[in-house]
Amino acid sequence: MRILVTGSKGQLGRELIRVLAVDHEVGGTDLPELDIRDAAAVARLVGEMRPEVVIHAAALTDTRRCEEEPDLAHQVNAVGTGNVALACREAGAALAYVSTNEVFDGRKGEPYLESDEPNPVNAYGRSKLEGEKHVRSLLDRCWVVRTAWLYGEGDNNFPMKILAAAERGELSVVTDEIATPTWARDLAAAMASLVERPAYGVYHFTNSGECSRYEWAREALRLAGREDAPIRPTTMAEYQPFPPKPPYSVLRNEAGARLGIELRPWREALGERFAALREG
């Protein structure tokens, strides 16, 4: 297949290019070459490439910036996604849209199903939910893939930020924000398998299991050989995260499991990521 990946320079985008290139003709685009807010530019690129599938991984994922600049979040994550969906409709391409656990409010108290009603508590979640609605209203041939707590190569992710903070002194990490860390490489493999099938709909793809931010931080420090680093457990009420976060947003993978697409436990994936870091 001919596949176009937006956000190809990001943590997920790089892994998607890597895994898809084995069996498919893959092209990637990202800033500054393409701003998805520019509808004409998006339509021109998709029209020229004529992909059979577009995987839309481009997004404004800085949740703090989204909260401070909600109009920008809306323009990128909602309007920009609508532009990609419209271009796909014109070109006859199917679209896989990467969404987030933060479309939920975290009050359910048990893992969210694909059929559960979203109710975001921050600007990032609201903008991504708007993107979902654009995709599903404009296209019949689409997959909406929600994920959580994504990390990959580079330093701009939670495990690497924890290690950097450990060098500066004591850490305080919340014990009552719970979801599932997801390695971008595992998510990319799951999505590569999904887009080969016309099983359109909503999917929840994370590594399996669940943990708190505190447990995730402790495991990252252990794998890095920094178990001695001082880390203090705290709560969201004490820490008062900005923007507000859903307290329990674990995603249950039912739709993907029916297709045989399941991701391994989060500790195993994190261990492999740190093993790769040690090997250089």
Kindly state whether residue 147 falls inside one of the protein's structural domains: yes
Assign 280 a pLDDT band (cuts: 50, 70, 90).
low
Residue 130's Cβ-side half-sphere holds a number of Cα atoms within 13 Å equal to: 20
Q: Give bridge partners of residue 267 from the DSSP assignment.
A: none
d(CA 123, CA 48): 34
With beta carbons less than 8 A apart as the criterion, state whether 170 and 216 touch.
no
Length of the chain: 280
Kindly state whether residue 218 falls inside one of the protein's structural domains: no
Active site residue 124: yes
- 112, 124, 151, 203: the catalytic one is 124
197-250 pLDDT per residue, tens: 999 999 999 999 999 999 999 999 999 999 889 999 999 999 888 899 999 999
155-204 pLDDT per residue, tens: 899 999 999 998 888 789 999 999 999 999 999 999 999 999 999 999 99
Kindly state whether residue 19 falls inside one of the protein's structural domains: yes
Supply the range of the domain harboring residue 186: 2-154+181-209+249-265
Kindly state whether residue 105 falls inside one of the protein's structural domains: yes
Kindly state whether residue 217 falls inside one of the protein's structural domains: no
d(CA 244, CA 72): 18
Residue identified by tokens 């596949």 is 3
With beta carbons less than 8 A apart as the criterion, state whether 179 and 105 touch.
no
Kindly state whether residue 122 falls inside one of the protein's structural domains: yes
Kindly state whether residue 128 falls inside one of the protein's structural domains: yes
d(CA 78, CA 89): 16
- Domain CATH code at residue 139: 3.40.50.720
How many other CB atoms are found less than 10 A from the CB of residue 109? 8
Number of domains observed in the structure of the chain: 1
d(CA 163, CA 166): 5
> The tokens of 226 are what?
């920094």
49-102 pLDDT per residue, tens: 999 999 999 999 999 999 999 999 999 999 999 999 999 999 999 999 999 999
Instruction: Give the residue-averaged pLDDT of 25-43.
Output: 97
With beta carbons less than 8 A apart as the criterion, state whether 126 and 84 touch.
no
Kindly state whether residue 275 falls inside one of the protein's structural domains: no
